[in-house]
């Protein structure tokens, strides 16, 4: 479940590809905003539960460094996703690498393709379609690889200037919805973020 949660977190960072943007223009747009911060509300709709499981928190994406995902409710947990793998911060403030499960290397590669805006890499694993315009768009991603097809039915991303909503539909019928709020570019990392990436 944590793997799918992290997967969803990373897809929140896919930029707007609607309108007349070319791949080169899209990559340029990403490099123009090397640091992005925001808040999130995530709801997990399980077939076995009448009410969704809701969590909230904050995130920071730094180009070339990775993603910091800070869960604040219903409990506190800090995750860091970098080219070296996925780590969790322990009670002493130290980052501990999470064990790599079978197939995790391939999924980490997909994660990094999302972080880098590597649409060619994403198209190796997803069939991507777009509707709308640059101000109000919907991007639907359907797995084309056998591995991801076993997990996901589709990933639907909606937004305007920035991503606003992500819906993850799983093959067994469960659904996760991520709402992003107050997403803003930043000029530099703060001291806490710098320490998190440096450890």
81 is in which domain, residue-wise? Answer: 2-198
Please check the confidence at residue 23 and state whether its pLDDT lies above 50: no
Task: Give mean pLDDT, residues 122-138.
Answer: 75
pTM for this model (two decimals):
0.74
Task: Give mean pLDDT, residues 129-144.
Answer: 77
CA distances 117 to 3, 50, 74, 134, 172, Å, are: 20, 37, 31, 17, 29
Most confident of 5-9, 157-161, 187-191: 187-191
Which CATH number goes with the domain that contains 130? 2.50.20.10
The tokens 């998190």 sit on which residue? 196
The DSSP line for 81-150 is: EETTEEEEE-TTS-EEEPPPPTTHHHHHHHHHHHHHT-HHHHHTTEEEEEEE-SSSEEEEEEE-SHHHHT
Mean pLDDT score of the chain: 77
Please check the confidence at residue 55 and state whether its pLDDT lies above 90: yes
The encoded tokens of residue 27 equal 């990559």
The tens digit of pLDDT for each residue in 12-22 reads 555 444 445 55
The tens digit of pLDDT for each residue in 175-197 reads 989 888 998 888 899 999 999 98
The tens digit of pLDDT for each residue in 66-105 reads 889 899 999 999 988 877 778 899 988 899 988 866 445 5
Please check the confidence at residue 54 and state whether its pLDDT lies above 90: yes
Other C-beta atoms closer than 10 Å to the C-beta of 21 total 16
Please check the confidence at residue 1 and state whether its pLDDT lies above 70: no
Question: What is the phi/psi pair of residue 4, to 5°?
Answer: -70, -35
Task: Give mean pLDDT, residues 114-119.
Answer: 54
Q: How many domains does the chain have?
A: 1
Output the pLDDT for position 10.
Answer: 58
Please check the confidence at residue 57 and state whether its pLDDT lies above 90: yes
């Amino acid at each position: 479940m944590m793997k799918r949660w992290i997967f969803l977190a990373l897809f929140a960072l896919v930029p707007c590809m609607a309108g007349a943007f070319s791949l080169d223009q899209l990559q340029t747009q990403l490099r123009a905003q090397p640091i992005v911060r925001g808040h999130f509300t995530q709801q997990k709709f399980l077939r076995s539960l009448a009410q969704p499981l809701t969590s909230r928190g904050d995130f920071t994406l730094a180009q070339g460094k990775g993603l910091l995902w800070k869960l604040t409710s219903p409990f506190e947990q800090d995750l860091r996703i970098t080219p070296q793998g996925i780590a969790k911060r322990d009670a002493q403030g130290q980052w501990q690498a999470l064990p790599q499960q079978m197939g995790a290397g391939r999924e980490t590669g997909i994660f990094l393709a999302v972080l880098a805006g590597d649409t060619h890499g994403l198209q190796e694993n997803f069939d991507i379609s777009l509707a709308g315009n640059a101000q109000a768009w919907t991007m639907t991603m359907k797995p084309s690889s056998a591995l991801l097809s076993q997990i996901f039915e589709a990933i639907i991303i909606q937004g305007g200037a920035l991503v606003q909503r992500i819906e993850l539909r799983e093959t067994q019928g469960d659904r996760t919805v991520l709402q992003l709020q107050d997403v803003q570019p930043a000029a530099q990392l703060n001291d806490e973020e710098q320490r998190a990436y440096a450890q």
